[in-house]
C-alpha cells in the first residue's frame, strides 16, 4: 500500500473528548477562583494552615459528594428500563412457558454463573472504591507531612508521560490487552519522553535550590498508580456487564464515604483545627457558589472519564490527560500565573515532547495507523483488509481473480489492497 499514514474513520463517541476538554477548562477555572493566597492561609497561627483543609475539602469531600449526583441519571435509566421490560414481558412469558421443561438444568446453571459474576463485580467495585480513596489520600498525605507548603508542578512535567505508561501497563496486565508492534512502539516512545522530561525536571529542581517540588515526586506516583489500576478494573466491570456507569459511581462513592468518615475521625482526634479552618471556605458566598459549581464540574468530569473508558478503553484516557494539561497551561497564561522567561527554553521542549506523546497515544489506540517498517501489519485496519480479501477469494468464480491468488505471495500482496482486483473488472 502506498499510504504510509492511514487515518481511521471518526466515531460519534469521540465527542466525549471534546466535552472532557470543555469541562476540564471549566474545572480548572473554578479551582483557580477557589484558591487562596499565602496571607489568607496564615491569618491565624495554628499547626495546620489552609493548605491541608483545602486539599481535604477539594479532593476528598467535594469529589465524594459529586459521585452521589449519579443517583439522578441512575434513577432515570432504571425507569426507562422498566418501561422497556414491560413492553416485552408478555412475549417472554409465552416463550418461557413453552421451553420451561427443557431448560430447567440450563437455567439453574446460568443463574449460578450470574450470581457468581455479580459477586465478583461487587468485589471489584469495592476495590475500585478503595483505590479511589487511596488515590486522593496520596496527595492529602503530602499536606499532612508538610503542612505549611503548597506544591506547583512544572508545566508539562514528567507526570503525564508517567501516567500514560502506567495506564498502558495496567491495561496490559489486568485487561490482557495484546500489544503489537505499534503498541510497543508507542510505549517505548512515551518511556523515552518520560526519561527526557524527568531529567529536565531534576535539572530545574537542582537549579532552584528553594524549590520543594522534588518532594512531590515521592507522592504523586502513588496517586497515578492507584487510579491507573482503578480504571482498568472499572473497564473489567463494564466487560462483565450487569452494572452501569452511574451505579459504579454510586457504589464507589459509598466506599469512599465510609473511608472518608474513618479518616475524618482520625484527623479530628489528631487536631480539630483542620475542620475549623475548613469553615473558612464557607464564610463567603463566593466560595460557597464555587464549591457548588465544583461539585457539578467534578461529577461531569468523572462521568466523562468513565464514559471514555467504557466506550473505548483505559488506554484512550491518556488523550484526556493531555487535554487537561493543555487546558491548565491555557488557564495559567490567562490568569498571568505563568512566569515564562526567555531563558526558560525548556518549556518549548516540553510542549514539543507532549505533542509527540499525544501522537504516540493516537498511534497506540490505532486512531492513526503508521504503515512504515511493517509496524501496522497487526493492526485491526490491515487485519480487516485481509479478511475482506479472503472472503473475496472464497466467493469468487472469476478466473482472473483466482489467478491472482495462485501463490501465497500474490495473496498477501492482494490482501493489502483488495479493491485493486475490483477495479480491474
Per residue in 300-342, pLDDT (tens digit) is 999 999 999 988 888 888 888 888 888 888 877 776 655 555 5
Average pLDDT over residues 123-150: 87
Closest CA to 179 of 315, 368, 312: 315
Query: Cell 504503515 maps to which residue?
Result: 371
pLDDT tens digits, one per residue of 211-253? 566 777 788 889 899 999 999 999 999 988 778 899 999 999 9
Cell numbers describing residue 184:
510497543
Average pLDDT over residues 32-45: 56
139 and 216 in contact (C-beta within 8 Å)?
no
* Per-residue pLDDT at 126: 93
Give bridge partners of residue 369 from the DSSP assignment.
Answer: 6
3-state secondary structure of 5: strand
Average pLDDT over residues 94-120: 59
Lowest mean pLDDT among 101-110, 180-189, 254-263, 291-300: 101-110
Q: Is the predicted pLDDT of residue 397 greater than 70, yes or no?
A: no
Average pLDDT over residues 126-143: 91
Looking at per-residue confidence, does 339 or 411 come out higher? 339
CA 200 vs CA 190, 203, 210, 359, 421: distances in Å: 15, 5, 17, 21, 54
Cα–Cα distance for residue pair 197/250, rounded to 1 Å = 38
Count other C-beta atoms under 10 Å from residue 28's C-beta.
Answer: 20
> How high is the mean pLDDT of the chain?
77
User: What is the pLDDT confidence band of residue 423, given thresholds at 50, 70 and 90?
Assistant: very low
4 and 369 in contact (C-beta within 8 Å)?
no
The residues near 349 (Cβ < 8 Å, ≥ 6 apart) are 196, 200
Lowest mean pLDDT among 37-46, 75-84, 285-294, 385-394: 37-46
Radius of gyration of the chain (CA): 27
Give bridge partners of residue 368 from the DSSP assignment.
Answer: 7
Cα-to-chain-centroid distance, residue 201: 24
**How is the chain split into domains, by residue range?**
36-151+212-283, 381-424
Percent of the chain with pLDDT over 90: 24
Average pLDDT over residues 13-32: 86
pLDDT tens digits, one per residue of 368-379? 766 666 655 555
Cα–Cα distance for residue pair 317/76, rounded to 1 Å = 27
Amino acid at each position: 500500500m502506498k499510504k504510509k499514514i492511514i487515518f481511521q474513520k471518526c466515531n460519534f463517541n469521540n465527542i466525549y473528548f471534546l466535552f472532557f476538554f470543555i469541562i476540564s477548562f471549566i474545572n480548572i477555572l473554578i479551582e483557580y477562583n477557589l484558591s487562596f493566597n499565602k496571607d489568607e492561609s496564615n491569618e491565624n497561627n495554628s499547626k495546620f494552615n489552609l493548605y491541608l483543609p483545602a486539599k481535604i475539602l477539594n479532593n476528598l469531600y467535594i469529589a465524594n459528594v459529586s459521585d452521589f449526583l449519579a443517583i439522578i441519571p441512575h434513577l432515570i435509566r432504571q425507569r426507562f428500563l422498566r418501561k422497556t421490560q414491560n413492553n416485552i414481558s408478555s412475549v417472554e412469558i409465552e416463550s418461557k412457558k413453552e421451553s420451561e421443561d427443557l431448560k430447567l438444568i440450563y437455567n439453574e446453571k446460568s443463574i449460578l454463573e450470574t450470581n457468581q459474576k455479580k459477586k465478583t463485580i461487587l468485589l471489584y467495585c469495592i476495590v475500585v472504591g478503595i483505590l479511589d480513596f487511596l488515590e486522593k489520600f496520596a496527595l492529602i498525605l503530602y499536606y499532612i507531612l508538610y503542612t505549611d507548603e503548597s506544591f506547583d508542578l512544572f508545566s508539562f512535567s514528567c507526570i503525564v508521560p508517567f501516567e500514560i505508561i502506567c495506564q498502558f501497563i495496567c491495561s496490559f496486565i489486568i485487561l490482557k490487552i495484546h500489544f503489537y508492534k505499534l503498541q510497543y512502539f508507542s510505549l517505548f516512545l512515551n518511556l523515552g519522553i518520560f526519561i527526557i522530561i524527568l531529567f529536565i525536571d531534576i535539572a530545574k529542581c537542582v537549579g532552584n535550590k528553594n524549590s520543594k517540588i522534588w518532594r512531590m515526586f515521592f507522592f504523586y506516583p502513588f496517586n497515578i498508580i492507584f487510579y491507573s489500576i482503578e480504571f482498568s478494573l472499572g473497564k473489567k466491570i463494564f466487560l462483565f456487564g450487569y452494572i452501569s456507569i452511574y451505579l459504579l459511581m454510586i457504589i464507589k462513592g459509598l466506599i469512599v464515604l465510609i473511608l472518608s468518615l474513618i479518616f475524618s475521625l482520625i484527623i479530628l482526634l489528631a487536631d480539630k483545627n483542620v475542620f475549623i479552618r475548613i469553615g473558612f471556605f464557607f464564610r463567603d458566598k463566593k466560595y460557597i457558589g464555587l464549591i457548588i459549581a465544583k461539585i457539578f464540574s467534578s461529577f461531569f468530569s468523572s462521568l466523562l472519564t468513565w464514559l471514555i473508558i467504557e466506550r473505548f478503553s483505559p488506554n484512550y484516557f491518556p488523550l484526556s490527560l493531555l487535554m487537561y494539561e493543555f487546558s491548565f497551561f491555557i488557564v495559567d497564561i490567562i490568569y498571568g500565573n505563568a512566569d515564562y522567561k526567555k531563558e526558560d527554553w525548556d518549556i518549548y521542549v516540553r510542549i514539543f515532547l507532549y505533542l509527540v506523546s499525544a501522537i504516540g497515544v493516537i498511534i497506540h489506540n490505532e486512531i492513526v495507523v503508521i504503515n512504515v517498517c511493517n509496524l501496522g501489519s497487526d493492526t485491526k485496519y490491515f487485519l480487516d483488509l485481509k479478511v475482506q480479501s479472503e472472503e473475496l477469494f472464497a466467493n469468487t468464480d472469476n478466473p482472473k481473480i483466482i489467478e491472482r491468488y495462485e501463490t501465497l505471495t500474490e495473496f498477501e500482496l492482494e490482501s493489502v489492497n483488495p479493491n485493486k482486483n475490483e477495479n480491474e473488472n
